[in-house]
Every structure is written in structure tokens, then in C-alpha cells.
Structure 1
Amino acid sequence: MDLVLACAEWSGEESDAFPTRRFLERLHQRNSYLIDSHYPLRDALIRDTGRTAQERWSFLRALREQRQVWPPRSWDGRPAAEHLG
């Protein structure tokens, strides 16, 4: 199962956009917080993304680099309608 960031007006045309670095950093911080706080997701996060903070950040960066689309698109959190204006 994958969790993705998306706005309520997300269109199929933009579904290949990848969250910007800002969101990856926030996701990395959230994952580190959950791991350090020993929440139930801790073991799954470690298993899926890495044991150390460096391994987890490398995992997220690799996902972004593997996502090859043309033209390259990033999602910055604004509703889809704002991208068109």
C-alpha cells in the first residue's frame, strides 16, 4: 500500500506529478518522529525505508529519482486549478 499526498481536485492528468522536495523532507521528518516515538508504525517504517535516518532519506530520494516522467512534474501542494492559472 502506498500513501500519497494529493489535493481534493487532483486530476488524472497530473497523477504522475511527484511531491516537491519540501514534502519529501516533511515525510522524512514525520517518519523519523514516528520511529523515535516508538509508535506502532515504527517497525514497518524501518523495514520499508531503512534503519538509519540517512538510509530513510536515501530511500525517499531514490523514489523521486526513479520517477521518470516527461515532461517532469512536481506537486507543490497547491490545488490543481492554481497550476493552470
Structure 2
Amino acid sequence: MVVLASATTNTLRSDPLGRSTAPIRGYGRQRMTTRLTDRIVNLHGQGRSTRQIAEELSVSKTAVLRALTKAGVEKRPRGGRS
């Protein structure tokens, strides 16, 4: 007899900032909170790339770029070379 493991969709998760959240429905989207935007701006100020920030916080690169634009942060040139 083969028993297949079932996916648990009703468990609590923690978001990138370590808070417990309800299960995310849909496409895994999370709400762009002020706290998350502040974290994105802070990491960008430390010199992290949008790709690195997106991976660390489990959001898309587009979400990172939108948050930076909305916060009025001047973006660095592409390629990481100044």
C-alpha cells in the first residue's frame, strides 16, 4: 500500500520579517506593508541588488523596484558598476 503525503495548507507561516501569518492563498503573493517597504529601502541602502533583495525577502524583483520607486529612492545604474 502506498500512502501519499498531503500538503498542509492550513498551517501558519512566517513572513520574511519573522512574523506568523495566515496561509497565503492564490499565487503566493504577500501584501507590501510599510515595514516590508522600509526593509527593502534599508537593504538597497546597504548596497544590495534588487535581485538579492527579492531573493532574501521572497518577493519578485518587480515588487522590489515598485517599492523603491514608491519610496522615492533613486535607483543605481544597472550592472553594479559605478
- Normalised TM-score (structure 1): 0.32
Which structure has more relative contact order (CA 8 Å, sep 6+)? It is 1
Larger radius of gyration: 2
Instruction: Provide TM-score, normalisation by structure 2.
Output: 0.33
